Amino acid sequence: MSQSGLMWIEKYRPKTLEDVVNQKEPVEGIKALLRTPSTMPHLLLSGPPGTGKSTVALCIARQLMGEHFRNLVLELNASDERGIGVVRERIKGFSQVIQSTPSGVQFGLVILDESDEMTKDAQTALRRIMETSSRTCRFILICNYQSGIIEPIQSRCSVFRFRYLEEKDAAEYLTRICKAENVDADPKAIARIYEMSGGDLRGAINYLQVAAIRSEGGKLDLPTVNKVLPAAENELIRDMLLLALQGDFIKSRDVMYELMGKHGLSGREIVRGANREASRIPDLSNEKRVDVIRALGECDFRLTQGANEDIQISAMLAQLSLTGRK
Ligand SMILES: Nc1ncnc2c1ncn2[C@@H]1O[C@H](COP(=O)(O)OP(=O)(O)OP(=O)(O)O)[C@@H](O)[C@H]1O
Ligand SMILES: [Mg+2]
């Protein structure tokens, strides 16, 4: 595929740690570790989606192994055959192919994305592999929730936390992409894209690309952005919350089914949207607002544990309808 046909999230994915936007804390910490690559520990990169974790893992791999890093890096994510046996076999393979790398390291890298979605049993097996293979490989574990990783693994890793990007940093980056793509973007349009993304830079870049395709004569303005953003979904999420808080559980659950069925939103997306909308509901007492946030937090946690989505969100709406009647 030609460079211009690439998705922008890939085209503009930083190749070196220098180019990663913000995330100063983890990036500086990792740079320090990479000064003596041979003593690099296992790493655990944790944080919300679209904030640069996978990107940073690949930057580390490139810095350690050079441009041909693919041979010495095993990349797996939750959708792969995650049989822990695969990891074990590939690590054995590493000890046979290890060659001189630009940084002089004598190990292979295993990048395990979405590692918080591995079962506890698999994590226990992984822990053992990490111990027995420490001579031939290092692990970079990536997760959204550090709490989803078993304690013995956490304690074997240097942990680095990523945060949602702030508006200033994200807007600067989006503006830079616009320049490179010859798109003349109104700062208001960029601000709106950031607002929708909630600090998820992948989301923001994707919205930007879709909006840019729709823009006419290379001008990207607010109305064009509004056309492509899923504003209707946000309004529905707000309706769902308001109906629940008015005590109308049945109607609010109908809206939930509409969001899942017609709009294809996942449970996590609904909870994330609800969390954003909850802070915007006017005229809500502090006490009720706390109840809402708590209910959302509990629901989000259960969903990360693999609970049934519509049962959990229904339960949350039921609870909100009681809160609303207080
Ligand atoms: N801090 C950042 N600096 C520069 N680009 C970023 C940053 N964070 C995200 N991006 C952009 O968003 C895309 C997705 O980022 P990345 O894959 O690193 O996210 P992630 O944190 O691994 O998310 P997930 O948890 O969903 O896997 C990248 O290709 C890049 O274009
Ligand atoms: Mg990732």
**Distant-in-sequence, close-in-space partners of 78: CB < 8 Å, separation ≥ 6:** 113, 114, 117, 118
| Torsion of Cα atoms, 52 then 57 then 60 then 64, to 10° | -160
Q: Give per-residue pLDDT as tens, 305-326.
A: 888 999 999 999 999 999 888 7
Cα separation of 214 and 290, whole Å? 40
Residue bearing the bigger pLDDT, 225 or 3:
225
Selection from 130, 140, 68, 79 nearest residue 101 by Cα: 68
3-state DSSP assignment of residue 77: coil
Of the listed ligands, the closest to the CA of 55 is: 1
Domain boundary among 184, 204, 228: 228
Give residue 218's domain range: 167-228
Label the pairing between strands 219-220 and 137-143.
unpaired
Note whether 46 and 159 are within 8 A (CB).
Answer: yes
**Distant-in-sequence, close-in-space partners of 131: CB < 8 Å, separation ≥ 6:** 156
Same domain, 238 and 148: no
Cα separation of 118 and 250, whole Å? 35
Domain boundary among 203, 228, 253: 228
Is 60 exceeded by the pLDDT of residue 268? yes
> How confident is the model at residue 79, as a pLDDT?
56
Q: Ligand 1, residues 16, 43, 55, 77: which to mutate, most atoms within 8 A of Cβ?
A: 55
Same domain, 252 and 222: no
> How confident is the model at residue 276, as a pLDDT?
85
Please work out whether the CB of residue 54 comes within 6 Å of at least one atom of ligand 1.
yes
Same domain, 290 and 212: no
Same domain, 98 and 70: yes
Cα separation of 22 and 166, whole Å? 9
Same domain, 238 and 204: no
Please work out whether the CB of residue 42 comes within 6 Å of at least one atom of ligand 1.
no
Please work out whether the CB of residue 205 comes within 6 Å of at least one atom of ligand 1.
yes
Cα separation of 153 and 141, whole Å? 10
**Distant-in-sequence, close-in-space partners of 88: CB < 8 Å, separation ≥ 6:** 129
Cα separation of 202 and 223, whole Å? 22
> How confident is the model at residue 1, as a pLDDT?
38
Q: Give per-residue pLDDT as tens, 278-298.
A: 888 888 888 888 999 999 999
Q: Give per-residue pLDDT as tens, 49-63.
A: 899 999 999 999 999
Please work out whether the CB of residue 12 comes within 6 Å of at least one atom of ligand 1.
yes
Same domain, 140 and 175: no
Please work out whether the CB of residue 112 comes within 6 Å of at least one atom of ligand 1.
no
3-state DSSP assignment of residue 299: helix
Q: Which residues pair with 325 in a beta bridge?
A: none
> How confident is the model at residue 45, as a pLDDT?
97
Same domain, 249 and 126: no
Q: For position 308, which CATH number holds?
A: 1.20.272.10
- Express as a percent the part of the chain with pLDDT over 90: 52
Residue whose entry in the numeric block shows the structure tokens 């046909």: 5
Same domain, 14 and 146: yes
Residue whose entry in the numeric block shows the structure tokens 């793509």: 181
Handedness of CA 319, 321, 324, 326 (dihedral sign): negative
Selection from 55, 47, 43 nearest residue 163 by Cα: 47
Same domain, 257 and 318: yes
Please work out whether the CB of residue 203 comes within 6 Å of at least one atom of ligand 1.
no
Handedness of CA 277, 283, 288, 290 (dihedral sign): positive
In the chain, the number of structural domains is 3
Same domain, 148 and 25: yes
Class of residue 134 by CB neighbours under 10 A (exposed 0-12, middle 13-18, buried 19+): middle
Same domain, 16 and 140: yes
Q: For position 194, which CATH number holds?
A: 1.10.8.60
Of the listed ligands, the closest to the CA of 170 is: 1
Atom from ligand 1 closest to the CA of residue 11: 31
Note whether 54 and 142 are within 8 A (CB).
Answer: yes
Same domain, 129 and 275: no
Domain boundary among 228, 250, 275: 228
Q: How far is the CA of 153 from the centre of ligand 1 (A)?
A: 24
pLDDT tier, 2 (very low <50, low <70, confident <90, very high otherwise): very low
